[in-house]
Amino acid sequence: MDQVTIGAYLAQRLLPHSGDILRTDAGVRRVLGALAQQNVVTVYTGGLEPVYAIERGQHLVAAFYRNSAIHHFVGRALAELVLLSDPADRWDEAMRLRDQLKFEFFFPDKASYRTELSAELQRLDPGWETVADGRAVLERAELLVASRVLRSFLDAQLVVAERLAARDPRGPVTEKEFLDECAGVGQQMLLQGQLHGPESLSRELFSSAVKLAANLDLINPGGEELAQRRQAFAARLCDEVSRLIMIDEIDAARRREAIGVEP
């Protein structure tokens, strides 16, 4: 994300931020240097300019730093995701997402949530309620955050949903064994490029996803009707992750264009 664009967005919403530090290369280097001292990032200095990367095994720590700030962007991320659904279904989708992520983020009451999300959608396009091509709206947007904010949470939910869908609905789900299964299959999915990054494999995220599944009555043994609902839950997560990937692709293409590289 472009730090100037982020700063402008936060300033528009009158939110506190450290944008002044991150507006300059020197400020960014100071922050990265502090993270390097904590062994969260590593720096390579053997070339023409330093190259920074998250230290091996420190992705969950880096995710903690990220998560301390992303609550400012949750509404924007949800607005982007909602825009990629059918116009007639957008409010229902917004409320479903609120329920789906209630174990990950604090949301205001439904009326306040609706007001705040409407304001985010208005920033993206004043005609958002009826505009048919949500992708075109996102392609014009100066800031896209949905993949960065939501991907690890929805990835973890997807792993849990798919493992539930693969189970015999008549069998019990023992949480520890099930979480171990999610961790193992999740690692496989990560290596196959189906998940965004190691932070998606957090046991804490898997645990929250299991709480969500229990809240949706998808854990206790049942019959064919339970199997169908588990399959529907997995299909819904697959669709949501696909939309996040689309948003990430739009953002990546725009960044390549900004620096003069053909997509």
Q: How confident is the model at residue 26 (pLDDT cuts 50, 70, 90)?
A: confident
Tell me the Ramachandran region of residue 106: left when phi exceeds 0, alpha when psi lies from -120 to 50, beta otherwise.
Answer: beta
* Residue-wise pLDDT tens digits, 242-255: 999 999 999 998 87
Query: Any alpha helices (H) in the chain, and if so which ranges?
Result: 3-12, 19-22, 25-37, 59-67, 74-83, 90-100, 110-124, 134-140, 146-165, 175-191, 203-215, 224-258
Taken in order 153, 197, 59, 204, the sign of the CA dihedral is: positive
Given a cut of 50, whether residue 263 has pLDDT beyond it is no
List the structure tokens of 123: 């920033």
Residue 39 vs residue 103, higher pLDDT: 103
* Residue-wise pLDDT tens digits, 183-242: 999 999 999 999 998 888 989 899 999 999 999 999 999 999 999 999 999 999 999 999
Question: What is the arithmetic mean of pLDDT over 23-39?
Answer: 75
* Residue-wise pLDDT tens digits, 61-112: 666 666 666 878 899 999 999 999 999 999 999 999 999 999 998 899 999 9
Q: What is the pLDDT of residue 13?
A: 60
Coil, helix or strand for 242?
helix
Given a cut of 60, whether residue 262 has pLDDT beyond it is no
- Burial category of 77 from C-beta neighbours within 10 Å (exposed 0-12, middle 13-18, buried 19 and up): buried
List the structure tokens of 95: 């409320």
Question: Model's pTM, two decimal places?
Answer: 0.79
- Burial category of 45 from C-beta neighbours within 10 Å (exposed 0-12, middle 13-18, buried 19 and up): exposed
Given a cut of 50, whether residue 131 has pLDDT beyond it is yes
> CA-CA-CA-CA torsion for 141, 142, 147, 148, nearest 10 degrees?
-160
